[in-house]
Amino acid sequence: MPVEHIMLKILFYILSFQFLFVSFFLFQNKKGKALSNKLLAVVFLMMSISVLSLYLFVFDIKIGLPQLLFIDDTFMLAYGPLLFLFTQSVLFKHYKLKRTDAIHFIPFFIAVCLVITTILFVDTRSLSQTINDFYTQQIPPNFRIVEILILTHIFYYLYRSKQYIQRVLHKVKGNYSSFNQAGFKLLKFILNSFIVLFLLSLMHSMLPFIGIKKGLIITLPALVVFMFYFINSILLRMLNHVSNESGEITRAFFKEKEKYAGSRLSQTELDAFKKELGDYMKEKRRFLDSELSINDLSVELGIPLKVLSQVINEGYGYNFFDFVNKYRIDVAKSLLMGQSDDKLTVQEVMYDSGFNSKSSFNTAFKKFTNLTPTQFKKGSTS
């Protein structure tokens, strides 16, 4: 057997075990959101079975019930809904599954019933011939069309999941001065990785359909290697204790309309409120409160919430999150500037300027200065 085949087999074994290991870990993991952990665990369990099924297919290994090779195909109709519900469970506080969520899995349940029907009623010999056709890439066009429809189903749910992330981020940044950015980054990484995986799957399905069978030599290893990168990245994040928990807002708050929608402020009123807000922030230094929200400022200033939101967005050109962080970064720059010794560490500056997360501090600092805090400190003392 060629060395590359042996290496590919080993990689399949490792992949299947790793997906299974992460799945079991998430099922019993007490950190983060229990529902999010379980939904992702189901996805990884399915991935483990799919890797094993792909291994049997690639190396033409015969099994007693060839119908079982189609089980992992049904998973393709479950990945999208599972990831969609996982996304919502991470994004929203107190998120719970509803009975109506079962609607998303109707295509999956139908596919499972079809597989069970083939196991019970379809002749194994005729089915083996069909599977052999798959091995030799002699696949009828209607099968390819079904594959494309299934992948379209997945991408629809991934698109909706990405939409939710952007809309929640917009809402959070408009109302809070700090939030768990690591949770959002982990969620984005997972969804983006699945987009790449399914794009590779789409290429793997389409190339023979358009007559490029040799392309499978590239797409199959690429698919396996990317899965290896993906699951090991997840393992690394688990070792670094990165939580899947963000949940900054509730679904009810998410569905509310923009606070200043329909608000009518003249330029004179806008300028007056802007000056009042700016003076208050400088005098009271409220930005040093790491948990500051726009609702807090609204109550303290006696300015209606929708008006204050409009003043920040239109008067300063920022959302609330960036508006507050701009003040914090100005303080951090002042603290770092002229430090000729190392008595004041970057971490101390982070806390003294109102941040409670190193990653948030570094991201905000880079955004407003195009430098990291360390680079800025070295540049200001040289």
How far is it, in rounded angstroms, from Cα 235 to Cα 229?
Answer: 10
Greatest Cα-to-Cα distance within the chain, rounded to the nearest angstrom: 82
Q: Name which of 175, 165, 168 is nearest 291 in CA terms.
A: 175
How far is it, in rounded angstroms, from Cα 84 to Cα 108?
Answer: 15
**Fold annotation for 3-252:** Rhopdopsin 7-helix transmembrane proteins (1.20.1070)
How far is it, in rounded angstroms, from Cα 367 to Cα 361?
Answer: 10
How many CB atoms are closer than 10 A to CB 148?
14
Each residue's pLDDT tens digit, 334-362: 988 866 556 678 889 999 999 988 888 99
pLDDT (mean) for 142-157: 83
Query: Is 92 in contact with 251 (CB distance < 8 Å)?
Result: yes
- End-to-end alpha-carbon separation of the chain, Å? 62
Query: Is 43 in contact with 86 (CB distance < 8 Å)?
Result: yes
pLDDT value at 55 more than 70: yes
How far is it, in rounded angstroms, from Cα 259 to Cα 251?
Answer: 16
How far is it, in rounded angstroms, from Cα 229 to Cα 224?
Answer: 9
How far is it, in rounded angstroms, from Cα 103 to Cα 288?
Answer: 46
- Do domains 3-252 and 261-381 share one topology? The answer is no
pLDDT number for residue 134 = 54
The model's confidence at residue 259, banded by pLDDT at 50, 70 and 90, is: low
How many CB atoms are closer than 10 A to CB 279?
10
Each residue's pLDDT tens digit, 157-204: 999 999 999 999 999 999 999 888 888 888 999 999 999 999 888 777
In the chain, what are the domain boundaries?
A: 3-252, 261-381
Domain 261-381 maps to which CATH number in 1.10.10.60, 2.70.150.10, 1.10.10.10, 2.40.37.10?
A: 1.10.10.60
Percent of the chain with pLDDT over 70: 80
Sign of CA dihedral 106, 111, 114, 120: negative
